[in-house]
Copies of this chain bind each other. A is one copy, B any other.
Amino acid sequence: MNKIQELPWDNPRFRTWIAVARAEKAIVRALSKALEPLGLKIAQLDMLMNLYRHPGQSQHDLARRLLVGRSNITMLLPQLETQGLVRRESDANDRRILRLYLTQDGEERLMEALAVYTRLIDRVMAQSTPEQCEAMGEQMRRISEALAED
């Protein structure tokens, strides 16, 4: 069996990726905990944020923007609906489409959650200077673009 020339643990690029994956996981954990008192999960907050920015979008659009399956939206929406945070309205012109809107309560809960969210991210990103942080964001966006070519 041919051994690999350089084991990944000694590869700086690989070590960076490991660090990225670990940090992302840590942030997700911390965010989950921070949102718990608000009765929101990350997936739900993502939806609320998207609906705030793009009111009236269809479930299909929302799924595409969140990079999740359409069925996922179908499963998650009732949770927000029964909490009274989101409203679904049939489109008049295309009866297949359900248009999604935040309710007043939904918008208020979103604002509370965003305060928690930004506080956490500010704290996390305070580990870097604004310039470093900006550079990191730029690199990450390039990575996403590079991988999007499929």
**Interfacial residues, chain A to chain B (CB-CB below 8 A):** 1-4, 6-9, 11-17, 19-30, 49, 53, 67, 107-108, 111, 114-115, 117-118, 121-128, 130, 132-144, 146-148, 150
Minimum distance in angstroms from A50 CB to a CB of chain B? 11
Contacting residue for A12 out of B7, B30, B114, B134, CB 8 A: B134
Contact between B17 and A125, CB atoms less than 8 A apart: yes
Contact between B147 and A20, CB atoms less than 8 A apart: no
With both beta carbons as reference points, the residue of chain B lying nearest to A68 in the complex is identified as: B25
> How far is it, in angstroms, between the C-alpha of A59 and the C-alpha of B15 when the chains are bound?
24
> How far is it, in angstroms, between the C-alpha of A146 and the C-alpha of B9 when the chains are bound?
23
Which residues of B are found within 8 Å of A122, using beta-carbon distances?
Answer: 11, 13-14
Contact between A137 and B1, CB atoms less than 8 A apart: no
With both beta carbons as reference points, the residue of chain B lying nearest to A25 in the complex is identified as: B67
Which residues of B are found within 8 Å of A6, using beta-carbon distances?
Answer: 118
Contact between B148 and A139, CB atoms less than 8 A apart: no
> How far is it, in angstroms, between the C-alpha of A23 and the C-alpha of B111 when the chains are bound?
26
Contact between A147 and B27, CB atoms less than 8 A apart: yes
Contacting residue for A17 out of B9, B27, B111, CB 8 A: B27
